[in-house]
Amino acid sequence: MNRFSVKQLGPIEDVSIDFGDLTILVGPQASGKSIILETLKLVVDHDSVINTLDRYNYIIGHNTDNILNVFYGVGMSAIWKKDSHVELDGIPFRLKDLPKKGDDRIDDMLFYVPAQRILSIADGRPKNFMEFDSSSPYILRSFSETLRLFMQHGMGSADVLFPMKNRLKGFLRNAFNESIFHGAKIIMEERSGQKKMVLDVDNLNIPFMSWSAGQKEFMPLLLAFYCLSGPPSKVVKREKYKYVVIEEPEMGLHPRAIISVLLQILELIQTEGYKVIVSTHSPVLLEFAWAFNQLGKMHRQYDALYEIFNVPEESPVRVMLEGLLAKTIRTYYFKRINGNGRVVSCDISSLDVTDSKDAVSEWGGLSEFSCKVSDVVSRYMVDAEDGE
């Protein structure tokens, strides 16, 4: 999977993405990032999508409107128009080519972590596919069902969900503990006849809905990381996945916690070999991408990389980061065209702060305010000094 192109789909006018080992998508809300990523899932895993809908007794026949309404959510089939054009690696994807029955020999290749992932957890347990109403997109239903099956059948009899020694590297467990859980444990406790997640801290078992917003938002993402790391599982065939999409991994998290998540993403790329695609509204990932570009021009580049992440000598993090600079990071900005409001993409991978294009120099708007604040304060300080 190298290049994905979409034209005339929903709000999208013309978007083309050349994937790196890590691909970052930025842009304002409602600028089509999720539509692009969901469409990529449909193109890559259409056999699995059709099989899943069939397994849950959706009567879709060969009616593409029915398929699209179930996949994107009721009423969303209208985003595909007669002149919509979708292409992956130069091969057009046409709705009429969707199979009536998917090939059950073909496994999912793209693991999708949706932005709405908090909705997958119902009072401390992942919801099953059919608990969602018809307005919920396929990617949320499928994600939640994957977590449910994984927790029931893919983790053995574990009653402690965090920390777990065999799912994440020790330095990542420590990073998540220090930045998110602060010594608390996540355990499974039977409540009202069901096992549910509770936060075990200071001799209290706190129910899921009483956790901090960041802890609640992070828990389904943590479970996704479990699915993609650690020992093989018959429930989640992680060895079959080649690509991982994570929407807004920063949701509800402090910048220090976002850095911990970034390290986990780098682990997925470096150790597990996935290509990862991230959509974000946080400058943290782009700050790293900018630094990544600069490090390639330096001597002692890995010493600088270790210092960025505060990695001490003899730390296993160094082993994980070795060779990272041979990877590629691509960054794209989704912007609306003045006048018609349609969305196009702009390759801002250089992240050059001296570029004449604002989209590049302001990193798709994520550094715009900080640049403005710095400029304004600098000018007024000069004025104040001149007036003395």
* pLDDT value of residue 203: 85
Residue 78 has pLDDT above 80, yes or no: yes
pTM listed for this prediction: 0.94
Residue 372 has pLDDT above 70, yes or no: yes
Cα(1)–Cα(15) distance, rounded to whole angstroms?
Answer: 16
Q: Ranked by mean pLDDT, which of 188-197, 220-229, 351-360 comes out on top?
A: 220-229
Cα(111)–Cα(237) distance, rounded to whole angstroms?
Answer: 10
* pLDDT value of residue 181: 96
Alpha helices in the chain (DSSP H): 33-44, 46-55, 64-72, 138-149, 170-176, 213-228, 255-270, 283-295, 301-308, 316-321, 358-361, 368-387
Q: Which two tokens stand for residue 91?
A: 């091969």
3-state helix, strand and coil shares in percent for the chain, rounded to the nearest 5: 45, 20, 35
More confident residue, 205 or 368: 205
Alpha-carbon dihedral angle through residues 103, 106, 107, 112, given to the nearest 10 degrees: -70
Burial class (CB in 10 A: 0-12, 13-18, 19+), 91: exposed
| Residue 386: band (very low, low, confident or very high) from pLDDT cuts 50, 70, 90 | low
Q: Which two tokens stand for residue 68?
A: 């699209």
* pLDDT value of residue 384: 66
More confident residue, 373 or 275: 275
Residue 304's closest CA among 313, 295, 293?
A: 295
Cα(88)–Cα(1) distance, rounded to whole angstroms?
Answer: 7
Mean pLDDT of the chain: 90
Over its C-alpha atoms, the chain yields an Rg (Å, rounded) of 22
Strands 194-201 and 185-191: antiparallel
* pLDDT value of residue 385: 65
Strands 121-122 and 110-113: unpaired
What is the percent of the chain with per-residue pLDDT over 70, rounded to a whole number? 97
Residue 250 has pLDDT above 80, yes or no: yes
* pLDDT value of residue 189: 87
Helices and strands: H and E segment counts in the chain: 12, 16
Per-residue pLDDT reduced to its tens digit, 150-182: 988 767 667 889 998 888 989 999 999 999 999
Residue 339 has pLDDT above 80, yes or no: no
* Arithmetic mean of pLDDT, 187-205: 86
Residue 147 has pLDDT above 90, yes or no: yes
* pLDDT value of residue 106: 80
Cα(257)–Cα(285) distance, rounded to whole angstroms?
Answer: 12
Residue 234 in 3-state DSSP?
A: coil
Cβ contact 334:34 at 8 Å? no
* Arithmetic mean of pLDDT, 331-342: 89
More confident residue, 110 or 96: 110
Cβ contact 167:137 at 8 Å? no
Cα(207)–Cα(124) distance, rounded to whole angstroms?
Answer: 7
Cα(11)–Cα(14) distance, rounded to whole angstroms?
Answer: 9
Cα(160)–Cα(171) distance, rounded to whole angstroms?
Answer: 18
Residue 212 has pLDDT above 80, yes or no: yes
* pLDDT value of residue 381: 83
Cα(330)–Cα(163) distance, rounded to whole angstroms?
Answer: 33
Cβ contact 275:23 at 8 Å? yes
Q: Which two tokens stand for residue 370?
A: 């900080």
Residue 336 in 3-state DSSP?
A: strand
Residue 347 has pLDDT above 80, yes or no: yes
Cα(38)–Cα(58) distance, rounded to whole angstroms?
Answer: 19
* Arithmetic mean of pLDDT, 63-91: 92
* pLDDT value of residue 287: 94
Cα(92)–Cα(336) distance, rounded to whole angstroms?
Answer: 25
Cβ contact 129:145 at 8 Å? yes
| Residue 388: band (very low, low, confident or very high) from pLDDT cuts 50, 70, 90 | low
Burial letters for 222-243: b for 16+ Cβ neighbours within 10 Å, e otherwise? bbbbbbbbbeebebbebeebeb
